[in-house]
Amino acid sequence: MLDLTSMTKVTAVTSATATCELCESHGGELLFDGGRYRVVLIDDAAYPGFCRVIWNAHVKEMTDLTTADRTLLMAAVWAVEAAQREVLQPEKINLASLGNMTPHVHWHVIPRYVDDVQFPSPIWADARRVASEELLSTRRTLLPALRQAILRQLQALA
């Protein structure tokens, strides 16, 4: 039986994971490197402020992490969410952990607005409306403040 409290189960690198996108690059603009995890800002024109919190090792499932590592990772997710809420003031924050394409546990932290192109559906759904470039541009102007808020939130965890 796997003891989920004391050892993180690292997924072996195989031919399927040998060209892992999240090993070859940060996976976005690196905002914070927490050693075992990192936080990146995704360059998604339709979703300014979309971030990912990525576990650095090849770990496929949350339950493959130790209790302490899960707690650390989720604290980082919540810190990013708090920063997004503070700076961007979205209608909703979507949290998603899929991991179907890469063997790194990672969380999508996505600010959502009633006027975004897919709202209230997931961001991967078909568009329901055309994005307002004016609103997107306004939201992009908040990204420097978001970067600072994320750093402040994550540094407070240490």
Asked if residue 18 belongs to a domain, the reply is no
pLDDT at 1: 39
pLDDT at 12: 47
Note whether 37 and 56 are within 8 A (CB): yes
Query: What is the spatial distance between Cα 82 and Cα 86, in angstroms, rounded to a whole number?
Result: 6
**How confident is the model over 32-65, as pLDDT tens digits?**
999 999 999 999 999 999 999 999 999 999 999 9
Q: Reply yes or no on whether the pLDDT at 106 is more than 80.
A: yes
Which CATH number goes with the domain that contains 143? 3.30.428.10
pLDDT at 100: 83
Strands 29-33 and 51-55: unpaired
Query: What is the spatial distance between Cα 158 and Cα 156, in angstroms, rounded to a whole number?
Result: 5
Asked if residue 7 belongs to a domain, the reply is no
Asked if residue 119 belongs to a domain, the reply is yes
Query: What is the spatial distance between Cα 78 and Cα 82, in angstroms, rounded to a whole number?
Result: 6
Whether the model pTM is above 0.75: yes
3-state secondary structure of 84: helix
Q: Reply yes or no on whether the pLDDT at 118 is more than 80.
A: yes
Adjacent-strand bridge partners of 29: 41
Asked if residue 14 belongs to a domain, the reply is no
pLDDT at 10: 58
Asked if residue 36 belongs to a domain, the reply is yes
Asked if residue 16 belongs to a domain, the reply is no
Provide the domain limits for residue 91: 30-157
Asked if residue 37 belongs to a domain, the reply is yes
Q: How far is CA 80 from CA 20, 86, 96, 103, 150, in A?
A: 24, 10, 13, 22, 6
18 pLDDT band (50/70/90 cuts)? low
Query: What is the spatial distance between Cα 40 and Cα 144, in angstroms, rounded to a whole number?
Result: 13
Q: What are the φ and ψ backbone dihedral angles of 29, each rounded to 5 degrees? A: -75, 120
Tell me the average pLDDT across 104-118. 96
**In the sheet where 92-96 sits, what is the strand order?**
29-33, 37-41, 51-55, 106-112, 92-96
CA 127 to chain centre: 22
Q: What are the φ and ψ backbone dihedral angles of 134, each rounded to 5 degrees? A: -65, -45
Domain count, the chain: 1
Asked if residue 9 belongs to a domain, the reply is no
